[in-house]
Amino acid sequence: MRFNKLDLNLLVVLDALLATRSVSRAAERLFLSQPATSLALGRLREYFDDELLVSVGKTLVPTPLAEQLVKPVRDVLLQIQTVTRARPTFDPATATRRFTIESSDYVITVLLAEVVRRAARLAPLMQFDLRAISPQTPEHLDSGGIELLIAPEFAVVAGHPAEPLFEDTFSCLVCEAHVDPAFELSSDAYFDAAHVGVEWGGGRRITYDAKMLSRSRRQRRQDVIAPNFTLVPELLVGTPRIATLPTRLARHMAARFPLRVVPCPIALPRFAENLQWHKYQERDPAISWLRELLRATAADLPALEEASHPPRRRRGA
DNA sequence: CCTACATCTTAACTTATGCC
DNA sequence: GGCATAAGTTAAGATGTAGG
């Protein structure tokens, strides 16, 4: 089949070649033999009248034209996928799709665990691949490698639709054994204490709350950095350390470990976790259904206000 | 400088498909 | 049915790198 004299199958090969920068690995990905892929590259070279990939030592390096083609080719294939995969009717009860969602483990804990529980009832054959946000997350979304991304404002990927999913505030979490029942955290005590930080976004050495705290001039001493939120309780229990965490997560942990949630003595902004999807998958009924499930689950999250600011002991009230 | 290894290219042959 | 063409496979050759 030809489209303007181009065999469209060659675009699939080109996409794999540009992604892998290797004939052998592209062949593997395409379930073709390596020679067949090499021949396809030959035909692509003839069509574009360009070497596309040139051998530099052991690797293949894309020419400037090939560099220019990477994104448009990927986009075109994604659009084709959307058109061909879309079904006018989407039936969750029989749908067998697998969705890949990237988010922090905080979002998995407070939201996605419940989303997956609900999905198991509504769409028993649906599968979920939950992954951690990483420095490659923008490429993952761009290339269609993931269906959804849930991220705070500063990690939202430009060029794709996004909407706020739920809000949260920051609270502090301390070991119950190290505080008396009337304990209130003062600002001075906060800055004097040792803190547990959470490295956020895979190797970026940025702690989540530090992003929010950056406007404060005072420095905290983070004597432990955890690789994810889930490990924070292990690093708090039995120590005088403090962790500054999203309130919903802090409450979740306080319900499972001997930990207490206390109001944060410094003003940290309220923040939102945002839902993102690929611009070409806007109309994919399965993804629309999943987005709706996420919205509904987020809407059912317990209200923040009442418990986040525990009733102040007002005299005479 | 040679060898081992990985990877790309080429040649020869096979298989599938479309057309008369 | 028979041919032409396209596209795949296997096998062998060519090329480049790393390491002794």
Structure tokens at A37: 């892929």
Residue A299 is predicted with a pLDDT of: 96
Residue A274 clears pLDDT 60, i.e. is over it: yes
Give the nucleotide nearest to A13 (CA→C1'). C7
Strand B interface, A 24-83, C-beta < 7 A = 24-25, 34-35, 38-39, 41-42, 55, 58, 60
- Which has more pLDDT, A295 or A60? A295
- Read off φ and ψ for residue A275, nearest 5 degrees: -100, 130
Indicate the fold that domain A170-269 takes in CATH. Answer: D-Maltodextrin-Binding Protein; domain 2 (3.40.190)
Residue A79 is predicted with a pLDDT of: 78
Biggest alpha carbon distance in chain A? 86
A132 CB closer than 7 A to any strand C atom: no
Structure tokens at A115: 């989303």
- Which has more pLDDT, A75 or A30? A75
Write down the residue that tokens 């919903």 correspond to: A248
Alpha carbon of A315 to those of A186, A243, A311, A312: distances in Å? 20, 30, 12, 9
Beta-ladder partners of A128: A99
Residue A88 is predicted with a pLDDT of: 64
**Nucleotides in chain C with any atom closer than 7 Å to protein CB:** 6-12, 15-18
A32 CB closer than 7 A to any strand C atom: yes
Q: Looking at mean pLDDT, say which of A88-92, A138-142, A287-291 comes out highest.
A: A287-291
Q: What percent of chain A has pLDDT over 90?
A: 40
CB neighbourhood size of A315 (10 A): 4
Residue A67 clears pLDDT 70, i.e. is over it: yes
CATH 1.10.10.10 residue spans of chain A: 2-84
Indicate the fold that domain A2-84 takes in CATH. Answer: Arc Repressor Mutant, subunit A (1.10.10)
Instruction: Specify the CATH number of the domain A98-157+273-299.
Output: 3.40.190.10
* Angstrom distance (rounded) from CA A201 to CA A227: 9
Alpha carbon of A152 to those of A197, A297, A304: distances in Å? 17, 18, 17
A33 CB closer than 7 A to any strand C atom: yes
Buried b (16+ CB within 10 A) or exposed e, A155-178: bbbeebebeebbebbbbbbbbeeb
Residue A87 clears pLDDT 90, i.e. is over it: no
H/E run at residue A211: helix A208-213
Beta-ladder partners of A272: A167
* Angstrom distance (rounded) from CA A149 to CA A132: 10
Average pLDDT over residues A259-264: 94
Structure tokens at A2: 């030809």
Residue A209 is predicted with a pLDDT of: 61
Residue A311 clears pLDDT 70, i.e. is over it: no
Report whether A196 contacts A173 (CB < 8 A). Answer: no
pLDDT tens across A111-165, in order? 999 999 999 999 999 999 999 998 889 888 988 889 999 999 888 999 899 999 9
Structure tokens at A303: 């209200």
CATH 3.40.190.10 residue spans of chain A: 98-157+273-299, 170-269
Residue A35 clears pLDDT 80, i.e. is over it: no
A40 CB closer than 7 A to any strand C atom: yes
- Which has more pLDDT, A19 or A118? A118
